[in-house]
């Protein structure tokens, strides 16, 4: 959230030079927070009338990020310097959210007010529930998310001041509190069950589960194993650098737009099959497999090159050797 | 819409070199469609473990665009090679939309089916009207646009195949037809008037006006001067290169996401005060001025450096000397 | 609307004296606008610790009214000095409304903007239509009127400044324009027909009729005789002095309350059987009679003292000999 | 509720005489229940063709009230003869309501059925909840009260017989039970929280608090100090003689109109800044002061004659020296 | 509608005898209206403790029908004695409806009031439109029909007196008028278009078409060929004897139940694939064929016994040689 | 549910003969499950061109039923062979439902999954609640049942395969679970109380009672005597052979129609005064009697032949001497 410090110039072995006839200019090489150095090309167009061509922005960094570090070759994922394995074992998602937002894990005294602030915002404005009635019951849940979060921006506009750090933090906490409520409502609306209110007596993951699975005709009891698994999944997906959705949020917001609307923009991007949509493919695959006894056959088919069946959800482009998040999942629940 | 051709390598006076110890590499210089050449930095990270640092992407091009050319110094704005002044004088917005989408102005025979296709999609699915009821009456119209367009993606998801050019075009035409209906409904909802249905007997701008200003208690007669002015404004704002909203749409869509949701993402960005929100500031200024007789005083205040009053909506960062669109507006309606 | 001038002291034969032991005080006798003089008892409580006892306020005037004069013995009803017979013959209800509000009939030039202002306000805020859905279909229409007009006050509150004459007039015009729309909707809601929008091409009475009787499956043609009759009824009921409903409005408003809410208060009072509810009794009687051929029998029953059947709607307590409004109705439609 | 006994003629030192030429008439002086005597002016208009002029009805009593007695000079407020201080200390609002309605405090055996009757009517007809959807979320709560109570009259019309004492009492109990539910819903609707159902396990004030402050995401625990304070406020505001709103209700009802609609009429009057609206000004002032530490500054400003800031809510026109209700508040909570 | 006359005993060659030991009883043979004679078995159970076993009721007649006569071998279909071919050529559906209901075609003077009565009932009670919102947009149209017609019975219950012929006829006319409105709304709801109101200026079939195909953004012009075809289809399907749906209506109504609810019961039966559902299969087949050029291939496939493709909608079980209705369709539109 | 076995030919004393001129044919006499033998008349029409005439189907059996046996003379009612008295004493309604569906009472191990399956389906799809809003509050509850159950068919159509026994059983269980929820909602909607969700912690009858009588303002405690009585009533009404509603369901379903829609058809028939409507008459009579002390007078009036008052709900046409269900009720609650 705080990118204000300009990157420092970096003593390093590279030299990047622009030669225009006889005149030659050196471009500055800047130090990254943890990863590779970066050539400063900001003046390329202004001074040399040259553009840099980089579709997909694989080589271009648009900001200095102090939040997440990935070493794809070594299978390392750090949030604010903490290895994901450690966080998964010792911290819950609320603590990780605090870490990502403020740069440090909450103290015992700091956790309580942070959580209280979250619980104060779990409820949606009643009028927001009307949006759901605008959707057909067979609407794609991601479409519902884009629409409802986009519409939510209408409810919190005049009181957001992007120039004010407290105001930005407040907007972030509000979203952190409300997104599970919105997501759960998208599901219950789809299956024709009544939308559940949040329950602040439960923790973040447990509350999400009761909103997803609870029905008014029975008391919902949170299964602690399921709840911990849910929390773990939230921890592992909390941040993943400048990916398409994160970049979309940043780009949309670069015009000073309403931050909640910009999160809706990010959700739009997340929907795509090349990004979050990959998870949808996993769920379809699991539904196809159906039950545990079908797993060996599925693996056999996946190994058979002539079979169209493919294992989904294994591996990630940036991790060349292994995905550190997969290792955490693999060890679980034995590690608890 | 068609970026498939890779940019050609450009014979030119520049040379950009990366020196790493003794080894030196030349980066390729590519030819732009009309504007400056571009250094290809795609392999920078992969081969040299170097990033390019360019917050705001001022020097970085993410695609080769054959649609719009801007020469900010000369005050030139071309759509598909046609100067904006010519299009403003001789073409209506539907023809310009055809030009931008397909690269050429419609023939006499081609215009009719294009327009017929548009009229077939002006109506919104009735259920979409429910979304509006989810908003407070004082909701910001841009928030309504983000929410409703985002939600619209739910209605057109399974039948969009991004790999299929016809399907992409169909999605674009659908949006071209429905956006005025959605925008007008956002306005009438805010002021508490009944939402109007489109009227396919009117042209694009005239229909938009009747949806904005029409009331059920009276027959709405389109004022041809007002209607032509509206159409002109649509022509002048039809495209403006890789700005924040356009880039947001492209970036969001790079994951293969639903294109209607991606347009919602672009609208989120457009909302910002540094982008489309500037128009909102103009309207606020005009409301403050109030009537024609107050204009001289407003100009005097604007010239007074001690007065906080500022003229809004004049000039644009990319045009160093004059904005070609302003010249068109200035000549109008005398030129017709 | 303008009661600002204090009543003048009146030279007259009466003398009202308060004797408290030896001390004797004369109360001032004030001149009425057209009718009887009035003893000023404002200081009775403050100076003499005496109250005046007058249940029903038959002898007490709470304001000097320059609007309506009734001479019950002579059967005279004047609006702003014009006999009701003249107004019924030569003026329509809009002109009479102008007369009552501003003290004079509109000129040819003055009528047009007055009527235009009315038409600008005939539509209800769309959200107001939701109120109707809160009623059972068998709700009493007067209950709907109290509820909807009361609720309407929410839509026009902050912009009403009771200290400002223009603002008060604007509120009055708004109500004059919207009350027929609200009343017609109360009826169509009761019978399960769609609520009609006003049609500004019709005159005041004609528009009311089309909103009451029109259906979407047919074009409604206004019957000029029916429309004139409706207008005449509006003229005859336009004002009737300090009756219960008018006094309720004035009393409620004496706290500076929202004037639209105060009109709702007046409607509540009008509902009562001793006031406007008498008209309901007439309609029930007419329904019971059913058709023209049953009239002689009904009259015979009314004359039979042993029969419980009574003629309703004939006569009014204040008119000792005849009701001047009945005479107008009796002559009509022959007089046109 | 019971005005049937005619006031008795009062032996007293006053004599009020009307002289018309030579003829002189004495008006009767009647005994008040507790306060000043009253001159009977009922025949003034009928016999002398004179009106009494008393705008605001400061000197005119429209009924003999056995309910409340105020001695403004001595700072005395009695309900049915009981000093307000005693009631505040020993009785809760339900008991006071019983006292006001029936003339006596409930016995131990009488309280239970009275309270049971109240709880049977706390729920609103489900359709009534639809009215709220007719309001914008920024509607003034008093407008909502006027609209919803006015509309409520539609639900209880045919079964109310104003000639029947039991029916009148039943209507009163129904309103006593439903008004808190309606008021709380007005608030929760405004802030976008779900409307709460009443909870009959709580007492009158506690239930009101849970409907105002409760949220579905947490269990609401009634704070006994807050609840007692609320009850005390209800006791102190239970009746205050023939003020504007009470008189409006009586006047509206004098036509025999639906009593619930007449209460809506009274609420309209209560809204005004010269009446209940004064409380709104207090809340605005408190909001402006904001926190306890700002109180000294506020008092200083209030004392500074050049400062526009004024202390609101202190004193009442009828109490010349002190307001007995203020003294009760002042002693509280020490007295419990 | 009038079955009151008991069937007459028929002189005929059959004799049906029940022998129980020595005692032998002859059953009466009754004369049919046009077709075969019938053995009266009403006393079988009462007198002989014997049941008749006839699943599907192929041999059992439950009433004497004077409405429709079918000779399956000869391909004859008569309504009230008129051959279907004649009616198709010379009468519209309204005339045929009159014929079926009253036994005779309307005279010139009789048609007008019949049609006026129909138009008076084409509108649905506004509240009925709410039912549609209870359906998912992908609801089967027949399910919507069952639900909405079933619910309609609530609106017309107390005023239907089954013992009164006029009341029964009124119920029938009401349904005749409203069923097209309900059916069209089922369709427009499914496709997300606004529900259309009927237009009484059009004839029965034309109005149905405008309700099905009309959109608010364009004026709908009825195609006379399409309209005549629709009317013809109505004529040909107007009655078809004691089929499953008709029998269901009669059986349901035998308890004296609400006739509109009983029609809903008949619609439930009509939905089945062995009855009206066969038409659904035809539509699916036509959709599969898609366009005229695919017809030859479809016919070839239908003739190929190894191909699963089957021609749907040709032939009907009761017509052994040909279906007289098919012949009418075949000649059309040449015959007009 | 299983009628697959064809009835066996029965050795018996009857002989039914058809004589056509000289040729004589004997009809087969078939054995009933428990009751009288049946003459097979299936070929009557096909072979002899004769129909059987039997309005009301008193002598005609349309299926062989193994479910219920009634001996009207002896006052015997058996479900699957069990006397109703035994079931009433030892089994609850869920066990009886199991018995009727599967032919046997559930074992201890079998009851649990049966009940669990029921509880999984007690909730209605949220959208179904919208249907209720389509009804006026004074709608007849049976009309609501026909409409809502009819509409419910839309929600469960594609996944019902009538050819598949499991699918049929699943549809039956779903209805068994949902009908109480629908019925209770019909009641609470009528009286304006919020619709209650089912509570799976209660048994079938107890849950029904809490949905009927529960209010959100109080905790509902099931009265065990009332609950047992309700369950007993369900047991006694669980089946009653081929009555009008059951036959309507069977006939409607004979076309292969949606089974839920066919149940709606049966409800339509049940509504009639000659069938289930008789219960409505009982309730009206009880309401008229009012309280226990009025019973002797009511009995006296019922015995007085000149009095129009009649005892309703005693006796049933098929039971000549006594109704076995009445005897069960009479003994209750002493027998528990």
- What's the pLDDT tens digit per position in F296-313? 999 999 999 899 888 888
B27 or A145, which is more confident: A145
Q: What is the pLDDT of residue B261?
A: 97
Indicate the average pLDDT of chain A: 88
Indicate the average pLDDT of chain B: 88
Which residue in this structure is represented by tokens 């040299």?
Answer: B48
CA angle E103, E105, E108 (to 5 degrees): 140
Q: Which CATH number fits domain C82-278: 2.60.120.260, 1.10.580.10, 1.10.10.10, 2.30.30.140?
A: 1.10.580.10
Mean pLDDT of D49-55: 71
What band does A4 get if pLDDT is binned at 50, 70 and 90?
A: very low
Q: What is the pLDDT of residue F228?
A: 94
Residue B137 and residue D135: Cα distance in Å, rounded? 10
Coil/strand/helix, residue B303: helix
Instruction: Name every chain E residue with its beta carbon within 8 A of the beta carbon of B154.
Output: none
Instruction: Name every chain E residue with its beta carbon within 8 A of the beta carbon of F151.
Output: 131, 134-135, 143-144, 146-148, 150-151
Q: Which two tokens stand for residue C170?
A: 């604007």
Q: Give yes or no for residue D117 having a pLDDT over 60.
A: yes
Q: What is the pLDDT of residue A13?
A: 65
Q: Which two tokens stand for residue B115?
A: 């327009």
Which residue in this structure is represented by tokens 């050319």?
Answer: B69
Residue A216 and residue D252: Cα distance in Å, rounded? 46
What band does D111 get if pLDDT is binned at 50, 70 and 90?
A: very high
Indicate the average pLDDT of chain D: 88
> Which residues fall within 8 angstroms of residue B260, CB to CB, at 6 or more apart?
B149, B150, B152, B153, B156, B160, B171, B174, B175
Backbone angles phi and psi of C13, in degrees to 5? -75, -15
b/e burial code for range B136-165 (CB count within 10 A of at least 16 → b): bbebbbbbbbbbbbbbbbbbbbeebeeeee
Q: What is the pLDDT of residue E332?
A: 75
Question: For chain F, what percent of residues have pLDDT higher than 70?
Answer: 90
Residue D2 and residue B279: Cα distance in Å, rounded? 67
Looking at this predicted complex, what is its ipTM? 0.87
> Which residues fall within 8 angstroms of residue F110, CB to CB, at 6 or more apart?
F98
F138, closest residue in chain E (CA to CA): E154
Q: Give yes or no for residue B334 having a pLDDT over 70.
A: no
Q: Which two tokens stand for residue E228?
A: 């005549």
* DSSP annotation of C121: T
Q: Give yes or no for residue A305 having a pLDDT over 50.
A: yes
Q: Give yes or no for residue A36 having a pLDDT over 80.
A: no
**Per-residue pLDDT tens for B168-192?**
999 999 999 999 999 999 999 999 9
Residue D95 and residue F179: Cα distance in Å, rounded? 45
Peptide bond into C140 cis (omega under 30): no
Whether D contacts A, i.e. 3 or more CB pairs less than 8 A apart, is yes
Q: Give yes or no for residue C70 having a pLDDT over 90.
A: no
- Yes or no, beta carbons of C199 and B192 under 8 Å apart: no
Q: How many CA atoms lie within 13 A of E160 on its CB side?
A: 22
Residues facing residue B68 across a β-bridge: B79
Give which of F125, F128, F129 is closest to F195, Cα–Cα: F129
CB A265 within 8 A of CB A94: no
Mean pLDDT of B112-118: 96
Backbone angles phi and psi of D29, in degrees to 5? -105, 125
Helix D204-213 vs helix D224-236: crossing angle, to nearest 10 = 110
> Which residues fall within 8 angstroms of residue B166, CB to CB, at 6 or more apart?
none
Query: Which partners does chain C have (≥3 C-beta pairs < 8 Å)?
Result: B, D, E, F
Residue C209 and residue C196: Cα distance in Å, rounded? 10
Q: Which two tokens stand for residue B25?
A: 């590499």
Whether F contacts A, i.e. 3 or more CB pairs less than 8 A apart, is yes
Instruction: Name every chain E residue with its beta carbon within 8 A of the beta carbon of B119.
Output: 217-218
Of A147-151, B69-73, D36-40, D301-305, minimum mean pLDDT range: D36-40
Locate all alpha helices (DSSP H) within F63-140, ordered by sequence.
84-90, 93-102, 108-119, 129-132
Mean pLDDT of C1-24: 64
Rounded to two decimals, the pTM is: 0.89
Q: Give yes or no for residue F4 having a pLDDT over 70.
A: no
Sheet containing strand D60-61, strands side by side: D29-30, D38-40, C51-53, D60-61
Residue D329 and residue A157: Cα distance in Å, rounded? 40
Q: Give yes or no for residue A180 having a pLDDT over 50.
A: yes
Which residue in this structure is represented by tokens 């004037």?
Answer: C259
- For chain D, the residues whose C-beta falls within 8 A of a C-beta of chain B are 136-138
Domain ranges for chain B, please list them: 16-66, 82-278, 282-335
**D188 vs chain A: nearest CA distance in angstroms?**
10
Of A263-277, B42-56, F134-148, F215-229, minimum mean pLDDT range: B42-56
Residue C208 and residue F320: Cα distance in Å, rounded? 65
Residue E208 and residue E188: Cα distance in Å, rounded? 12
Strands D51-53 and C60-61, bridge-based pairing: parallel
**Per-residue pLDDT tens for E218-263?**
999 999 999 999 999 999 999 998 889 999 999 999 999 999 999 9
**Per-residue pLDDT tens for F182-192?**
999 999 999 99
What band does B78 get if pLDDT is binned at 50, 70 and 90?
A: very high
**Per-residue pLDDT tens for A190-222?**
999 999 999 999 999 999 999 999 999 999 999
CB B80 within 8 A of CB B328: no
Q: What is the pLDDT of residue A256?
A: 94
B125, closest residue in chain E (CA to CA): E192
A123 or D162, which is more confident: A123
From the CB of residue D166, how many other CB atoms can be counted at a distance below 10 Å?
8
Q: Which two tokens stand for residue C266?
A: 């007046």
Q: What is the pLDDT of residue E70?
A: 87
Residue C121 and residue D13: Cα distance in Å, rounded? 59
Nearest to F126 among A194, A217, A218 (CB): A194
CB D328 within 8 A of CB D236: yes
Q: Which two tokens stand for residue F177?
A: 């679970």
What band does D336 get if pLDDT is binned at 50, 70 and 90?
A: very low
A92 or F332, which is more confident: A92
| Displacement of CA F331 from its chain's centroid (Å) | 22
Indicate the average pLDDT of chain F: 88
Q: Which two tokens stand for residue C172?
A: 């009055």
Sheet containing strand F76-79, strands side by side: F68-71, F76-79, F82-83
Residue A17 and residue F96: Cα distance in Å, rounded? 90
Among A13, A56, A59, the strongest candidate for a mutation testing the B interface, having the largest count of B CBs within 10 A, is A59
What CATH fold (topology level) applies to the domain F16-66?
Rubrerythrin, domain 2 (2.20.28)
**Per-residue pLDDT tens for A51-65?**
777 665 666 666 656
Mean pLDDT of C140-147: 96
Give which of E31, E39, E12 is closest to F21, Cα–Cα: E12
From the CB of residue D143, how many other CB atoms can be counted at a distance below 10 Å?
27
CB F181 within 8 A of CB F124: yes
Give which of D186, A128, B141 is closest to C154, Cα–Cα: D186
Mean pLDDT of B40-67: 69
- Sign of the torsion formed by the C-alpha atoms of D61, D66, D68 and D69: positive
Q: What is the pLDDT of residue E37?
A: 75
Coil/strand/helix, residue F17: strand
What band does F59 get if pLDDT is binned at 50, 70 and 90?
A: low
Which residue in this structure is represented by tokens 């000004």?
Answer: D281
Instruction: Name every chain E residue with its beta carbon within 8 A of the beta carbon of B126.
Output: 189, 192-194
Q: Which two tokens stand for residue F132?
A: 């209720």
- Yes or no, beta carbons of B146 and A142 under 8 Å apart: no
From the CB of residue D211, how many other CB atoms can be counted at a distance below 10 Å?
24
Instruction: Name every chain B residue with its beta carbon within 8 A of the beta carbon of E189.
Output: 126
| Displacement of CA F245 from its chain's centroid (Å) | 8
Sheet containing strand D14-20, strands side by side: C23-27, C14-20, D14-20, D23-27
Residue E216 and residue A175: Cα distance in Å, rounded? 40
Mean pLDDT of B224-243: 93
Coil/strand/helix, residue D103: coil
A203 or B65, which is more confident: A203
Instruction: Name every chain B residue with its beta carbon within 8 A of the beta carbon of E215.
Output: 123
A152 or F49, which is more confident: A152
Q: How many CA atoms lie within 13 A of D293 on its CB side?
A: 0
CB C149 within 8 A of CB C263: yes
Q: How many CB pairs under 8 A join B and D?
A: 9
**Per-residue pLDDT tens for F194-214?**
999 999 999 999 999 999 999
What band does A159 get if pLDDT is binned at 50, 70 and 90?
A: confident
CA distances from A321 to A302, A317, E126 (A): 20, 10, 65
CB D180 within 8 A of CB D204: yes
Q: Torsion over CA of E112, E114, E115 and E120, rounded to 10 degrees?
A: 120
What band does F22 get if pLDDT is binned at 50, 70 and 90?
A: confident
Q: Residue ranges of chain E with pLDDT lower than 70?
A: 1-13, 32-35, 54-65, 333-336
CA distances from B69 to B62, B66, B244 (A): 15, 8, 16
CB E98 within 8 A of CB F105: no
Q: Which two tokens stand for residue D68?
A: 């409340």
Q: What is the pLDDT of residue E3?
A: 42
Q: What is the pLDDT of residue F26?
A: 81
Residue B118 and residue A321: Cα distance in Å, rounded? 51
CB A25 within 8 A of CB B11: no
Q: What is the pLDDT of residue C310?
A: 85
> Which residues fall within 8 angstroms of residue B6, CB to CB, at 6 or more apart?
B64
Of A231-240, D40-49, F159-168, minimum mean pLDDT range: D40-49
How do the residues of chain C divide into helix, strand and coil, expressed in percent and rounded to 5? 45, 10, 45
């Amino acid at each position: 959230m705080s990118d204000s410090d300009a990157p420092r110039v970096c003593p390093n072995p590279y030299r990047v030079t622009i030669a225009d006839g006889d005149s030659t200019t050196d471009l500055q090489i800047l130090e990254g927070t943890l990863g590779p150095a970066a050539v400063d090309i900001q003046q390329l167009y202004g001074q040399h009338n040259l553009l840099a061509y980089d579709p997909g922005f694989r080589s271009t960094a648009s900001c200095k990020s102090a939040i997440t570090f990935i070493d794809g070759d070594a299978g390392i994922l750090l949030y604010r310097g903490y290895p994901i394995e450690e966080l998964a074992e010792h911290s819950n998602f609320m603590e990780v959210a605090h870490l990502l937002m403020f740069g440090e894990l909450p103290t015992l005294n700091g956790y309580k007010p942070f959580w209280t602030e979250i619980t104060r915002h779990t409820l949606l404005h009643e009028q927001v529930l009307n949006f759901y009635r605008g959707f057909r019951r067979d609407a794609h849940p991601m479409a519902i998310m884009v629409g409802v979060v986009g519409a939510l921006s209408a409810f919190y506009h005049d009181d957001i001041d992007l120039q004010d750090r407290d105001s930005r933090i407040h907007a972030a906490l509000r979203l952190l509190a409300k997104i599970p409520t919105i997501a759960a409502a998208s599901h219950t609306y789809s299956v024709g069950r009544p939308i559940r209110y949040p329950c602040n007596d439960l923790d973040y993951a447990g509350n999400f589960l009761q909103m997803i699975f609870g029905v008014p005709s029975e008391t919902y009891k949170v299964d602690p194993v399921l709840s911990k698994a849910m929390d773990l999944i939230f921890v592992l997906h909390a941040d993943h650098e400048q990916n398409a959705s994160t970049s979309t949020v940043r780009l949309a917001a670069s015009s000073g737009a309403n931050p909640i609307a910009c999160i809706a923009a990010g959700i739009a991007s997340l929907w795509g099959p090349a990004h979050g949509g990959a998870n949808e493919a996993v769920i379809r695959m699991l539904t196809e497999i159906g039950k545990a006894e079908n797993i060996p056959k599925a693996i056999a088919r996946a190994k058979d090159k002539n079979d169209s069946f493919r294992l989904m959800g294994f591996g990630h482009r940036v991790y060349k050797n292994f995905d550190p998040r997969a290792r955490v999942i693999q060890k679980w629940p034995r590690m608890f």
